[in-house]
Structure 1
């Protein structure tokens, strides 16, 4: 989406906001060696950026495909293939090096993430359905969220045909299931580990697509509100930042099943929807050409940031041990690499694949923001 023009217009600021969300995730995986404890506490909660991505996906897919799917103008096979074409080029490119290092270099850090079944599940976008961390964090670990996204894409084709009230009831019902499950897991299982390095609660409430689709469905509902012209005052945008960072500050005191699932939802909903306000300096900033470029490159940034940080920790960290120096340097290098990857590989590969699919199914290109 590029530019905001009424309920059917395009919303460039959402593209720019993608970079802010990706930056939060980057902060999670950055090794904070010399920073104050307060900064570390906030950075450790940066995974909340994934919630924003999931909510954004529901919003944008509804904007891009909702009417056409309901009108029968898009077939299920063409739609699914287009979504696969969106994710596959970067997913494969960032996953295969882990296979190489595991087999050829025999490096233990990569070998843990490699195996024939793990690789097949990962490259098929199925790894997040397996409640074992070695599987859902296989190959390039951040790709677990792509497995969730692919599940959301398939479900969306059917969810978008529901009336808004029915979708609302379904969303509330799923929220109730998540709440009851969190209570039961907290009381009876706690930090119990059955497989892998993490408790079952980590997979069930942070990774499991059947629960994480809640954020995606909320994004669909928010699009219905936005399309009907409902807006929040632009003055709520600064408040949404304060509430977000306050929630990140107190989050460590919240039990994992709730922190991974429901705790951040109200804050992210407000943060997301407040930025849909029109004629605001905040939205103007995120809709600027630079932020839109960074937002478009945020998918590449998200997928390469963890291996990039690993390499930079190996080869650069010793020369700049202070976080105040190493953080902007490592961030800058990752941003440049992601923009180049977006321009030189991701976009050409995606266009080529989608072009083939559209010619085969005679499917027009939706005028919407990339998800």
Structure 2
């Protein structure tokens, strides 16, 4: 017997726009990272927290989209929906990474030219599945679980969060979920305050230390977003997109706190941003409405490119970083190229969305891979 259709709900356009704002800040963060001697002196210093913001957004929207729909779908249906939403761009990100890999050969990654093509292809094919590779299979030298496209690590943990939600956490009472979120928050604070670097940066390698960081970064915001949706009572806030965007940029661009002598202070900043400020931003965004044609267009565009730009921009960053480090280029000298890199990331993301991602998802829907696509992250 055919399952009833899953009817489309109201779409949180502002949350889409905020995700795009954070994604562009990630690109800017990675561009500036190439010019920093360490994260202590980096401009756009806390751009790495965008990943934690993405996790919280995902938890909130997934709770909104699916909590009341389990009578009309099963776990397999949920996984199909999520795979169709996320996996095509994962594949494209790995393809772009493979196509640009050998052009990244430089003093920063001096052994790239020694990697046989067959091995790069194998790593790409494994990357299509998001199965992480161990450090022994690294082909770059950074021990990434996805050497062709580093940000794949956060999608790996995103999938884990989705799996935990579908199999177990969706059945939790609000009290049980609150306990999980509280314990996850304690884990996150401990990571941030005791980190040897004074931050939550990490999660991209398949070893015990990095897995600890990855799980600590995913558990609180993802399930905190779930709890936020279940517990919060939304209100009406004027100009919510602009206020929430300004707050998002301010948090991610904030200079380093405490310096090298008080690393724990930056850990406190990271913790408070994830635990308090990001839920506030999501609350603001969910409580507002997009008004005016310009705001509507901006939100729509940012929402459309948010995921594609995040999952496809890093191969460009590899190229940019290899050039900057290899030739010892200052930011002033590199400014035109940095702007071109940012613009290029946006254009590639939009092209991938319109020419590849959307057609693929429409094709999968026609083939019956899922009954209905739901407009969530």
Task: Sort the TM-score into its range (normalised by shorter chain).
Answer: 0.7 to 0.9
- The Cα shift of 1:27 comes to 1.5
Query: Does the 8 A contact of 1:81 with 1:357 survive in 2?
Result: no
Q: TM-score, normalised by structure 2?
A: 0.73
Counterpart mapping for 1:244-323 below 5 A: 244=251, 247-250=254-257, 254-255=263-264, 258=267, 262-265=271-274, 266-278=276-288, 287-311=295-319, 322-323=333-334
List gaps (5 residues or longer) in structure 2: 1-8
Q: Which string of whole-angstrom CA distances, capped at 9 and with x for unpartnered residues, describes residues 142-189 of structure 1?
A: 111111111111112131222223211211022223444666766xx9
Instruction: Pick from 147, 151, 154 the counterpart of residue 156 of structure 2.
Output: 147
Query: Does the 8 A contact of 1:42 with 1:245 survive in 2?
Result: no
Higher helix share: 1
Q: Which string of whole-angstrom CA distances, capped at 9 and with x for unpartnered residues, describes residues 202-258 of structure 1?
A: 5522xx2365121111111222244x4356786874883586257554275534994
Identify the residue that residue 111 of structure 2 maps to in structure 1: 108
Query: Does the 8 A contact of 1:28 with 1:43 survive in 2?
Result: yes
Distance 1:285 1:176, change over 3 A: farther
Identify the residue that residue 341 of structure 2 maps to in structure 1: 330
Distance in 2, matches of 1:9 and 1:258, equals 37
Distance in 2, matches of 1:24 and 1:306, equals 13
Say whether residues 1:240 and 2:247 are aligned partners: yes
- The Cα shift of 1:96 comes to 3.4
- The Cα shift of 1:76 comes to 0.9
Counterpart mapping for 1:156-305 below 5 A: 156-157=165-166, 158-180=168-190, 201-205=209-213, 208-209=214-215, 211-226=217-232, 228-230=233-235, 237=244, 240-241=247-248, 244=251, 247-250=254-257, 254-255=263-264, 258=267, 262-265=271-274, 266-278=276-288, 287-305=295-313
Distance 1:197 1:89, change over 3 A: closer
Query: Does the 8 A contact of 1:234 with 1:277 survive in 2?
Result: no
Identify the residue that residue 90 of structure 1 maps to in structure 2: 89
Distance 1:285 1:328, change over 3 A: farther
Q: Which string of whole-angstrom CA distances, capped at 9 and with x for unpartnered residues, describes residues 284-322 of structure 1?
A: 69952233123212222112212124446778998x964
Q: What is the number of residues matched between the two proteins?
A: 344
Distance in 2, matches of 1:154 and 1:129, equals 22
- The Cα shift of 1:60 comes to 1.2
Distance in 1, matches of 2:121 and 2:344, equals 32
Distance in 2, matches of 1:120 and 1:312, equals 25
Distance in 2, matches of 1:280 and 1:26, equals 25
Distance 1:129 1:298, change over 3 A: farther
Distance in 2, matches of 1:263 and 1:220, equals 18
Identify the residue that residue 131 of structure 2 maps to in structure 1: 126
- The Cα shift of 1:346 comes to 0.9
Q: Secondary structure at the match of 1:41?
A: coil
- The Cα shift of 1:39 comes to 12
Q: Which string of whole-angstrom CA distances, capped at 9 and with x for unpartnered residues, describes residues 65-106 of structure 1?
A: 11102x2x1111121122122222121222135446669999
